[in-house]
Amino acid sequence: MRNEPVFVKYVAEEIARTKGISFDEVASATTANAKSLFKLTSKLSLT
């Protein structure tokens, strides 16, 4: 199986399940990390 962008949602769901947190918490944390890492200033949509 190849790593494809379409699988990001499933990876986030598995992270949430494993850590016992919500999908929204994972989405918020990973979005904040990406904004910080890549110095993004524009709003990113979580959808």
Does 34 have pLDDT greater than 70? yes
Please report which confidence band the pLDDT of residue 21 belongs to, taking 50, 70 and 90 as the band edges: very high
Radius of gyration of the chain (CA): 12
Whether this model's pTM surpasses 0.75: yes
The token pair at 17 is 């399940």
Q: Please check whether residue 26 is in contact with residue 15, taking contact to mean a CB–CB distance below 8 angstroms.
A: yes
Measure the CA–CA gap between 20 and 38, rounded to whole angstroms: 27
Dihedral sign, CA of 1, 27, 30, 35?
A: positive
**pLDDT of 41:** 82
The token pair at 23 is 């999908």
Does 16 have pLDDT greater than 70? yes
